[in-house]
Amino acid sequence: MRFKIAIAATIIQSFLLLVHLFLFGTWVALHGAPRQPWLNVMKITFVLLSVSFVAATLVAHRYFNGPVRVFYRLASIWLGFVNFAVPAACLAWIAVAATIVFNLPFGQTRIGEFFLGLALLATVYGLANAARLRIKRVSVKLPGLPESWRGRVAALVTDTHLGHIKGRRFLSRIVTALRQLRADVVFISGDLFDGTQVDAHGLVAPWKHLSPKFGSYFVSGNHDEFADHGRYLEAIRSSGIRVLHNETVDLDGLQVVGVPYHDTANPERFHSALSNAELDPKRASVLLSHVPHRLPIPEKHGISLQLSGHTHGGQIFPFTWFTSRIFGAYTYGLSRFGDLLVYTSSGAGTWGPPLRVCTAPEIVLIHFE
């Protein structure tokens, strides 16, 4: 495992170094190189910035304190800016070429500053957009739904990614919103934690102040299954949330089954988990599954509604495009796969850069008709 992590970190770091070399080269070409010793200072700064996110991530998996949280947050914001700075630099080169070909009266320095400004603007917008939590309302009609559930409401919360950026204050905001919305049941379909070293009990403590009529139910996502998996689950249970690990609960006639990420990732284990769930095909059922994948399996087992997250809707452009290529219609929102309804939430939190562009953080209210 450590060898795989080392290989992944090396590949990511090499890519980030090349990206920063490109940005450095673009800046010098369009603005001119500063005099010594400022040129050396600039080179060192770009090298340090290129290693900042990987270094912050490695440190965040070992320590949880104020300085580490600040370091991780700043490195993550910088990574978000780089995401926009690279296409901005490419556009700047295209614009420079256009001024040469068509003899346009625009200087290279002004062109560089303009596109750099666009990258900064996108970063600031992404930070503000990610901080504003939305309430998304959807209505579903499930065959075999008990009469007692008609008109009731479930809240879906996914991908809070509690850790070095999203912390206890963020979860308190979510809990306050849920208390005001008064959902009958709360479903948490994974990645409650970011997977780093944290005070798990402290971060999830605000959930103790929430008591829906039919309780809160959680299924683990890929980030919850990182190094502190057992501690995460212990903290979740201590906060009053029931962890569903390949088990089914009956909520006043509504069947709710939870299958953790590592079992849904394996087709045989996924089949086995749903086979052992002993679901009544004549009654409506809800599956909590972190990733909207392997949909033929829950559809074959007669699941009525699957609630997922994981994708973040892509979170930041242009990753929104890549994510939609992977998950298709199930990247975000309510879709149908045969007789199976699937709702994929964009999630409440963020991973990596605490930005959202072309997506929005959400709590989902599901109205049963």
pLDDT tens for the chain, 369 residues: list them.
677 778 988 999 999 999 999 999 999 999 888 888 999 999 999 999 999 999 999 999 999 999 999 999 999 999 999 999 999 999 999 999 999 999 888 899 999 999 999 999 999 999 999 999 999 999 999 999 999 999 999 999 999 999 999 999 999 999 999 999 999 999 999 999 999 999 999 999 999 999 999 999 999 999 999 877 899 999 999 999 999 999 999 999 999 999 999 999 999 999 999 999 999 999 999 999 999 999 999 999 999 999 999 999 999 999 999 999 999 999 999 999 999 999 999 999 999 999 999 999 999 999 999
Contact 80, 353 (CB under 8 A): yes
User: CATH 3.60.21.10 in the chain, residues?
Assistant: 134-368
Residue 88 identity: A
Predicted local distance difference test score (pLDDT) of residue 50: 97
Residue 187, C-beta contacts closer than 8 angstroms, at least 6 positions apart: 154, 155, 156, 157, 216, 217, 256, 286, 288, 307
Predicted local distance difference test score (pLDDT) of residue 1: 62
Distance CA 112, CA 100 (A): 15
Distance CA 99, CA 29 (A): 15
User: Could you tell me how far CA 118 lies from the centroid of its own chain?
Assistant: 24
Q: How far are the Cα atoms of 91, 92, 112, 357 from residue 119, in angstroms, in the given order? A: 11, 11, 11, 12
Residue 317 identity: F
DSSP string for residues in 53-94:
HHHHHHHHTT--SHHHHHHHHHHHHHHHHHHHHHHHHHHHHH
Q: What is the CATH number of domain 134-368?
A: 3.60.21.10
Distance CA 365, CA 38 (A): 54
Residue (of 346, 348, 347, 341) closest to 139 by Cα position: 341
Residue (of 189, 295, 286, 207) closest to 243 by Cα position: 189
Distance CA 118, CA 112 (A): 10
